[in-house]
Chain A
Amino acid sequence: MTTLAVLEQRDGVLRKISYEVVTAAQRLGGTVEAVVCGVGPVQGADQAGKYGADKIVTLTNPAFARYAPEACAQALAERAKQGGYQTVLFAASATGKDLAPRVAAKLGVAVAADITDVTTDGGDLLVTRPVYAGKALLKVKVASRPAVVSLRPNVFTPVERRKAGAAETVAVNVPAGRVTVREIKTAPAGTLDVAEAQVVISGGRGLKEPANFKVLEELARAFGGQAAVGASRAVVDMGWRPHADQVGQTGKTVSPSLYIAVGISGMIQHLAGMRTSKVIVAINKDKDAPIFKVADYGVVGDLFEIVPKLTEEIRKLHG
């Protein structure tokens, strides 16, 4: 049994989420073949062996300098058809959410999308997917061969399981396609996406005005590049923060190691988006706020006094 783990790169560098895909793949047992589309060698792809890949294949094509949805989908679908794979695994990242359905459609199947758990039961692949933004979990049996699955970011913590992964480079002949990425406008250096950050600090109405989010940004910086600043729907709807930062049912669902909710009351649609966080801290002036019901640790009081103090303490830890 072989699993095809689809890795992701940007600007010729493997994205860290790729190691999560390899880690999940090796949990299925059998052989793990990792594959990445690149214009040439992808920096970091050789590390995939460290997390359990038996073989690392780089598919090269001039179109792969940037994400080329149609060309990548064609190359990967052709690979998937040849290989007799049991499962094809993607990350449910922005790229993976775009790419996995294209590949699946070419294989005539659906994606078991954004899963948080995967097991095999006899010959069956069983996955768990949060639905209704995590208000419920759906257990699904995937009967297609190959099964096409995408993994929620931050759930499958990379585990080192060193294998001497053999490397192979294959030039693929596919057209560039009708959809091409002409540029990437990058966010300021060091900006992490809330869906991928290890620490998420979200603010709500309690921040009182948009400029006050700087207290959260300072706290995020104190975590030394591991933290992202999120927001509740209320403040996104008021235009204080971009939608990209919204955590909740109509925003992103996040699973960081540490989620700090600041000045957020805890509407059900927000709780849905962050309840799978490993540890939740709530800071709110209202001791009866629903957010305290899901928080592991709560501090009641004025966030403008509490957060700067917390920033100071975290800075001490991170030196």
Chain B
Amino acid sequence: MKIAVCIKRVPDSETRVKIAADGKTIDEAGVKFVMNPYDEFALEEALRRKEKAGSGEVVVVCLGPAAAQETIRTALSWGADRGVLLQADSIPADPFQTATVIAAELKGTAWDLVLFGRMAIDDYSHQVGPLVAELLGLPCVTAVSHLDIEGTKGVAEREIEGGIEVVNFSLPAVLTTDKSLNEPRLPALKGIMAAKKKPLEVKPVQAGTGTLEIVALMPPPERKEGKIVGEGAGAVGELVRLLREEAKVL
């Protein structure tokens, strides 16, 4: 199994977002960066597939700034074999440009699987995986929560509103992973030591500007001050009255 796992360096989910002076990006001071949580399921799945196959290679690909080397090292500590940083000062605002850069890197290698998290928790675009699949001409299943592979035939499950879609696909394929797919491992000290010696190639890239232009990053509208209606079951009558008469949602 030759598997590429495409990961992204993102602010941790507990981050309080402060807007930078340019009014278009976040202020990164004091922000803790991590591997995008959905990418952890992709990486875990790749490692398990390789372990099950008994041979193969798991390559981690990341588009990001120099500091994303740290994110790649984390992936290597989990057990990935090598990493490639597509180094750019910033990640394009246009996911098609991101996909173009990643697809150019992946092209020409006979991957069995190319895995992505189903979305990144910073830009919420949930599309780089399927865009790359289209650019490479590979079949794609998104938001995979269960996966069976037998030879070049795959069966994936993906959550839809009110149910689960069971999808047949053929390998090689691009898959994007959802939370229930597996339980990501915790890195062991041995892995962290080993990761330092694993190959990490840095390739400067130049992404195009694309057709999505950031005009402004703004704080969400403040919710107006709420009120404590009361304490205990005795307050329910008043709550229901307010929901009917003031909020008009009942």
Contact = CB atoms under 8 A, between A and B. Distances in A.
Given A299-B228, A299-B229, A106 B249 contact: no
Given A94-B160, A142-B211, A313-B240, A301 B19 contact: no
Interface in A50-89: 67, 69-70
Interface stretch (B56-64, B79-87, B131-139): B131-139
B231 A300 contact: yes
Contacts of A179: 139-141, 167-169
A140 B212 contact: yes
What range describes how many residues of B lie at the interface?
35 or more
Contacts of A181: 165-168
A186 B96 contact: no
Interface stretch (B8-16, B46-54, B191-199): B8-16
Contacts of B216: 138-139
A136 B96 contact: no
B139 A98 contact: no
Contact of A133 (B94, B124, B139, B247): B124
Interface string B151-171: 000010111111111111110
Nearest to B140: A179
Candidate in B123, B212, B217, B220 with the most chain A CB atoms within 10 angstroms: B212
B229 A298 contact: yes
A108 interface: yes
Interface stretch (A19-27, A34-42, A158-166, A302-310): A302-310
Interface residues of A, number: 97
B103 to A, nearest CB: 10
Nearest to A147: B211
B179 A250 contact: yes
Contacts of B141: 179
Given A136-B218, A295-B226, A297-B229, A184 B139 contact: no
A264 to B, nearest CB: 15
Interface of B is mostly: mixed
B214 A140 contact: yes
B239 A281 contact: yes
Contacts of A143: 211-213
Contacts of A215: none
A116 B142 CA distance: 22
B211 A195 contact: no
- Listed from nearest, the 5 A-B pairs whose CB atoms lie closest are A105-B134, A101-B127, A110-B96, A144-B211, A193-B161
25 contacts: A67-B165, A97-B127, A101-B95, A101-B130, A105-B131, A109-B96, A110-B95, A110-B125, A110-B127, A113-B125, A136-B218, A137-B217, A138-B214, A147-B211, A181-B168, A183-B166, A192-B161, A193-B162, A249-B13, A258-B250, A296-B247, A299-B239, A305-B233, A306-B236, A309-B236
Given A137-B220, A180-B167, A296-B247, 14 more contacts: A93-B160, A94-B160, A102-B133, A132-B15, A132-B17, A136-B220, A138-B123, A177-B139, A195-B161, A244-B159, A258-B247, A296-B223, A299-B232, A302-B232
Interface of A: 15, 67, 69-70, 93-95, 97-98, 100-102, 104-106, 108-114, 126, 129-144, 147, 177-187, 191-193, 195-196, 236, 242-244, 246, 248-251, 253, 257-258, 267-269, 275-276, 278-281, 287, 292-302, 305-306, 308-310, 313-314, 317
